[in-house]
Amino acid sequence: MIRLFRPARAAHPLWNLTKTLLQTAVFWSTLLWLAPAALVSGERLLGVGGIRFAGQLPVGWLVLVVASFGGLWSGLTMALHGHGTPLPLDTAQRLVTGGPYRFVRNPMAVFGLSQGLGVAILHGSPTVLLYVLAGAILWHVTVRPVEERELANRFGAAYDQYRARVPLWLPRLRAAA
């Protein structure tokens, strides 16, 4: 049986950072550039008009840039404090509860979906917005339960306490103690 979640092997922090940044480049290129570009091209072929509003580009860029910095912060925190990467096959050896993980349990999902929202705004694309919504539902229904079960099995009471004090989707404005 293939084990979906495998803790990373002991490695130098620079190696974990490098792997994390490479994974980030691949995921962002695929999920935030290629897939939305294909969807927007499909909209154009079908004659579906984009949504336009005043301030659209600055708003879209602001959401995308802020969420991207949050995503980088999350990945770097995972690599440096968790001694692994965000990828389940090379996951953190330690439970990560610092950095953005003090405000929300899965900041990479929150920031990644927020990046998708920024891309949808930039393109004025209802299809990209539906793609982001589908990603949120897919993550919440299929990935999250498996990941939470794995974290509970690996980290026991420490994860249960963390889960009880840090929200899943809506970040707290103040860090959890």
For 2-28, what is each residue's pLDDT tens digit? 566 767 677 677 888 888 889 899 999
Q: What residue segments make up the domains of the chain, in order of their start?
A: 13-165
The answer regarding whether domain 13-165 maps to CATH 2.60.40.150 reads no
State the Cα–Cα distance between residues 168 and 170, nearest whole angstrom. 6
- The pLDDT value given to residue 19: 83
Residue type at 36 in one-letter notation: P
What's the average pLDDT block by block, 10 residues per block, for the chain (177 residues)? Answer: 65 80 91 95 86 90 97 93 76 89 94 97 95 96 91 93 92 73
Query: Residue 69: what pLDDT?
Result: 97
Both tokens of 22, joined, read: 């490479």
Q: List, for residues 80-105, the tens digit of each pLDDT value.
A: 988 877 777 667 888 999 999 999 99
pLDDT at 6: 66
What's the distance, Cα to Cα, between the start and end of the chain in Å?
A: 38
CB of 16 within 8 A of CB of 83?
A: yes
pTM: 0.87
Where do runs of H (alpha helix) occur along the chain?
A: 13-28, 35-46, 56-82, 107-123, 126-138, 144-165
